[in-house]
Amino acid sequence: MEQNNKDHSPHHVTPVAVYVKVLLALLVLTILTVAVSYVDFGKANIFVSMGIATIKAALVMMFFMGLKYDTVLNRTIILSSFVAVALFLGLSASDLWTRPDIQPVKVAEVAATLTMDDIKKLEISTPELIAHGKEVFSVNCTPCHGANGEGNGASGAALNPKPRNFHGPISAWKNGTSTHSMFVTLAYGIAGGGMASYKSLPPADRFALIHFLHTWTPEIQTASAADSKYEAALKEDGIGAGSVAAKATMPVDFAISRMMAH
Partner 1 sequence: MSSTHAKLDHAHHFNSADHEFAAGKIGMWLFLVTEIMLFSGLFVGYGIFHYIYPEMFREAHHELNKVLGSINTIVLLSSSLTMALAINAIQRDKPELAKKMLAFTFLCACTFLCIKFFEYSHKFHEGLLPGKFYSNTELKAPNAALFFSFYFVMTGIHGIHVLIGMACIAWIYIRVNRGDFDSHHYNAVEFVGLYWHIVDLVWIFLFPLLYLVV
User: Does 41 help bind partner 1 (rule: CB under 8 A)?
Assistant: yes
* Residue 41: CB minimum distance to partner 1, A: 7
Q: Which is nearer to partner 1, 102 or 158 (CB)?
A: 102
Binders in 67-86 for partner 1, by CB under 8 A: 70-71, 73-74, 77-78, 80-82, 84-85
Stretch that binds partner 1, among 66-74, 114-122, 157-165, 240-248 (CB under 8 A): 66-74
Which value, to the nearest 10 degrees, does the dihedral of the CA atoms of residues 182, 186, 189, 193 take?
A: 60
Helices (H), the chain: 16-36, 45-59, 72-96, 107-110, 116-122, 127-140, 142-145, 179-188, 203-213, 225-228, 230-236, 252-261
Contact in structure between 196 and 165 (CB atoms under 8 Å): no
Residue 178's contacts (CB-CB under 8 Å, 6 or more residues apart) are: 219, 220, 221, 222, 223, 224, 226, 227
Q: What angle do CA 102, 104, 109 make, to 5 degrees?
A: 130
What is the closest distance, in whole angstroms, from the C-beta atom of residue 38 to partner 1 in the complex?
8
Provide the minimum distance between the beta carbon of 8 and partner 1 in the complex, in angstroms, as a whole number.
Answer: 10
> Minimum CB separation from partner 1 for residue 93, in Å?
8
Quick one: 79 or 139, whose CB is closer to partner 1? 79
Q: Which CA distances in Å does 233 have to 156, 227, 255?
A: 26, 10, 23
CA nearest neighbour of 52 among 78, 31, 24, 83:
31
Query: Binding to partner 1 by residue 47, rule CB under 8 A?
Result: no
Q: Candidates 7, 16, 117, 259: give the one binding partner 1 (CB under 8 A).
A: 16
Check: CB of residue 149 under 8 Å from CB of residue 173. Answer: no
Query: Least separation, in Å, of the C-beta of 95 and partner 1?
Result: 9
* Residues forming the site for partner 1 (CB under 8 A): 1, 3-4, 9-11, 13-14, 16, 19-20, 22-23, 26-27, 30, 33-34, 37-41, 45, 49-50, 52-53, 56-57, 60-61, 63-65, 70-71, 73-74, 77-78, 80-82, 84-85, 88-89, 92-93, 96-97
